[in-house]
Amino acid sequence: MSLEQMDKQKRKKVLIINDPLQYGGSDLVAVRLQQHLDPDKFECVYCLRHDEIGPMESRVAQSGVRILHQPDTACSYIKSYFFYKRLLKKEPFDIVHCHLLFYSGIALFAAKRCGVEKRVAHAHFSQPMRKIRNPIIRFVKSLYHVVMRGFVSFVSTDIIGCSQAAGEYLAGRRGFRRKGTVLNNGIVTKQYCLNETVRQNVRASLGLNHKIVLGHCGQLHDVKNQMFLLDVFHSFHRRYENSALILVGDGQDRQQLERRIEQLQLSKCAHILGFRNDVPQLLMAMDCFVFPSIHEGFPLTLIEAQAAQLP
């Protein structure tokens, strides 16, 4: 046996299960955790749900990490179980780390049945039950949450929450108390130190010189409450005409938000920038950070905004 083969045998194999890699908070946390693992001790492989190629995937692949995809046709709960069972029988792993909330239960159940030693469920947010008027739907959803919390707690060896609330939302209070660890999200702070030259260059490139710039980062989704943010900015802009709003991110609500911008006649001062890989520089260009989410776990973007010393 060669030294290289012996070295590979010593390394722990980690399967990281996630959705397509976007430049969003939880995906960025997952990638940063992987990047900080010692490659001499851990061999990481991603398995991403769906066929979609996320904007951050090429960056991860270029670092030499192998990426697999779970096809769209195999994403139901039953098909997912058999997909992961086949994968884990074909290629043994020492650790399975899943970032998909209650869906983690399915993947980790397959891992448990295949004898995987470490099975980690990772919660990135807490989501209080919204007001559902239909009592049957409300009951079914509540029952689903209760069942899946118990199931995730049963099939996991470890549960990680970015906050206590996030961990308890995923595994219940008792489950998180038995198996849980709070692992706060973190960033490389020196990347966010203000550079006046960078600030002026970014503002000039976006046409924001001499503007009061309000900024927001996050996936364009109803839980992020950007529609409300546009209404607030509309009132703000009527009072401060030299103001501008930039939304950094993309998502399912983009077209709806673009229509709302048109309706409010804010096209010249409210801009959706899409997914970006230069968030630290964009934060330097802002004067104020706004974050009107309905619910969150431990938002990475607020840490970034704080590091950039934004009010």
39: nearest Cα among 61, 19, 10, 17: 10
Between β-strands 180-182 and 158-161, what pairing exists: parallel, antiparallel or unpaired?
A: parallel
| CB neighbour list of residue 209: distance below 8 Å, 6 or more residues apart | 200, 203
pLDDT digits 0-9 by tens, 181-200:
999 888 888 999 999 999 99
> Comparing 298 with 105, which gets the higher pLDDT?
105
CATH 3.40.50.2000 range(s) for the chain read 3-182, 190-307
Dihedral angle sign, alpha carbons of residues 218, 220, 223, 229 = positive
Residue type, position 173, single letter: R
Stretch 245-258: mean pLDDT, rounded? 94
113-127 exposure pattern, b = at least 16 Cβ within 10 A, e = fewer: ebebeebbbbbbbbb
CATH of domain 190-307: 3.40.50.2000
pTM: 0.81
What is the number of helices (H) and of strands (E) in the chain?
12, 11
The helix (H) or strand (E) run that includes residue 271 is strand 270-274
Q: What is the mean pLDDT of the chain?
A: 92
pLDDT band of 50, cuts 50, 70, 90: very high
pLDDT surpassing 90 at residue 300: no
Residue 3 pLDDT exceeds 60: no
User: CA 136 to CA 142: how far, in whole Å?
Assistant: 10
* Distance (Å, whole) CA 154 – CA 113: 12
284: Cα within 13 Å, side-chain hemisphere:
20
Confidence grade of residue 8 (pLDDT, cut at 50, 70, 90): low
Q: Report pLDDT for 299.
A: 81
Residue 1 pLDDT = 45
Instruction: Please write the tens of the pLDDT for every residue from 221-243.
Output: 888 999 999 999 999 999 999 99
Over residues 239-250, mean pLDDT? 96
- Tens of pLDDT, residue by residue over 261-294, are 999 999 999 999 998 889 999 999 999 999 999 8
Q: Is the pLDDT at 219 greater than 90, yes or no? A: no
- pLDDT digit string, tens, across residues 111-154: 999 999 999 999 998 876 566 778 898 899 899 999 999 999 99
Question: What's the fold here for domain 3-182?
Answer: Rossmann fold (3.40.50)
